[in-house]
Amino acid sequence: MAAPTRIALEDEDGVPVIRIYDRQIMDDRIVREVGDQIMAALPPSGPVRLILDFANVTMISSAMIGRLVVLQRRADATGGLLRLCEIGSAVRDVLRTTNLDRVLKITRDRREAREAFGPAK
């Protein structure tokens, strides 16, 4: 049985955007499925250029935060850009408490995230 679709891949003026459907990413199975689906949406080689939209997400586990850190490191290592946006207060508080708001590149909204990538192509 295939895993349910937990993300949507969209385009924001030439930049891939992944919108996460789940409100709570706490269960190990959900973390694995969301993480795997995000990784499957990335290009197999070259720079990682991606916006992650967390508008629907209200809670996130430490395991999912770990996946985001790995994704940020991959983007940095490939000379790419990763921006997280539309993060709610509860998730933002967790990232601040763990000081990961300094590691993960967080923007207020999609517009601000898109601007980080430069002019539309």
Asked if 9 and 16 count as a contact pair (C-beta separation under 8 A), the reply is: yes
- Which one, of 33, 72, 21, 25, lies nearest residue 51 by Cα? 72
Q: Is residue 13 part of a domain?
A: yes
- Sign, CA dihedral 52-57-58-64, equals negative
Q: Is residue 1 part of a domain?
A: no
- Sign, CA dihedral 38-24-81-86, equals positive
Domain containing 45 equals 7-115
Q: Is residue 121 part of a domain?
A: no
Q: Is residue 76 part of a domain?
A: yes
Q: Is residue 57 part of a domain?
A: yes
CATH number at residue 89: 3.30.750.24
Entry pTM: 0.93
Q: How far apart are CA 19 and CA 63, in angstroms?
A: 19
DSSP secondary-structure letter at 32?
H
Quick: pLDDT tens for 2-40. 788 999 999 999 999 999 999 999 999 999 999 999 999
Q: Is residue 42 part of a domain?
A: yes
How many independent structural domains does the chain possess?
1
Q: Is residue 27 part of a domain?
A: yes
Is the pLDDT reported for residue 121 higher than 90?
no
